[in-house]
């Protein structure tokens, strides 16, 4: 008896803005730019590259290239795509015991 193994695609689980926000928040917390770019690519695929290209004014090819593991999206591109996805980027204090800034 052999078991069937199915490949998991995280894009399948990104069915709401809340799911997208949680997925991208986790990716940003990793702190690796290439990982974040790939995560944005997963979200873009979940949404549909053609629709996302139309909403952002960016080409599908540019989106694929930018959000690949080798891509290096600009902040402007990230904010444009995130807005089209219905999510915003937020900042919070880093969770380490690093010294605090004094002013």
- Domain positions in the chain: 31-85
Which residue in the block uniquely carries the two structure tokens 């930018």?
A: 66
SS3 per-residue string spanning 19-63: HHHHHHHHHHHHCCHHHHHHHHHHHHHHHCHHHHHHHHCCCHHHH
Give the global pTM: 0.78
- The pLDDT tens digits of the residues spanning 5-24 come to 888 888 888 999 899 999 99
Q: Which tokens is 27 given? A: 């990716």
Check whether 102 has a pLDDT greater than 80. Answer: no
pLDDT of res. 103:
60
| Lowest pLDDT segment from 21-30, 45-54, 87-96 | 87-96
Q: Name the average pLDDT for the chain.
A: 87
pLDDT at 97 over 90: no
Question: Which structure tokens are listed for 16?
Answer: 């709401």
Instruction: State the distance between the two ends of the chain, measured CA to CA, in whole angstroms.
Output: 67
> Can you tell me the mean pLDDT for 70-86?
90
């Amino acid at each position: 008896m052999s078991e069937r193994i199915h490949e998991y695609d995280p894009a399948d689980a990104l069915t709401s803005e809340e799911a997208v926000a949680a997925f991208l928040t986790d990716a940003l917390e990793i702190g690796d730019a290439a990982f974040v770019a790939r995560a944005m690519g997963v979200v873009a695929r979940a949404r549909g590259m053609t629709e996302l290209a139309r909403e952002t004014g960016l080409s599908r090819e540019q989106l694929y290239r930018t959000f690949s593991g080798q891509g290096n999206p600009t902040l402007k591109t990230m904010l444009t795509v995130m807005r089209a996805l219905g999510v915003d980027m937020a900042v919070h204090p880093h969770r380490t015991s690093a010294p605090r800034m004094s002013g």
